[in-house]
Amino acid sequence: MQALRNLATTPALRWLALLLLCAAYLQGAFVKATDFASAIAEMQHFGLAPAAPLAVLVIAFEFGASLMILTGFHRWLGALGLAGFTLMATFMANRFWEMAPPDRFMAANAFFEHWGLVGGFLLVAWHDLRAQDERTEVQRTEVSI
């Protein structure tokens, strides 16, 4: 059991978990960047205007927030950003309550799967902020000793 615990707490596995959590956003940004016409069409499909500048912002945001999470640079902020982005996109793209079967079934599944991503990002932010608080407390203790 200790060997499994040791494996599950390695930095490499943690980074892999963060990469997997960000994978859809990295892939989405890459696809939008390499097929910008489709990125604009996606913005227009959801009624977002001006479509081209918003597509650029989404690409930059998805890449930037993912890199913040993966590098640890203000990881909590990147995670909260992607949580909020996912929440908004979920309500925009997966409005299952307005759909008829069979589309409703798949949209409802996607809607609740995205809530899982939101929860994952909130946990990343929570853990990162807690770790910062713990480091700050240790520094205060060392200074006062």
The number of beta carbons lying within 10 Å of the beta carbon of residue 75 is 21
Cβ atoms of 42 and 83 closer than 8 Å:
no
CA–CA distance, 112 with 5 (Å, rounded to integer): 30
Mean pLDDT of the region 66-84? 98
Helices (H), 35-102: 36-45, 51-71, 75-93
- Minimal CA–CA distance to 75: which of 140, 29, 23, 83? 83
* pLDDT at residue 144 greater than cutoff 70: no
CA–CA distance, 133 with 45 (Å, rounded to integer): 43
The model's pLDDT over 89-135, given as tens digits with 9 standing for 90+, comes to 999 999 999 999 999 999 999 999 999 999 999 999 999 999 988 88
Range scoring the smallest mean pLDDT among 52-56, 68-72, 105-109, 141-145: 141-145
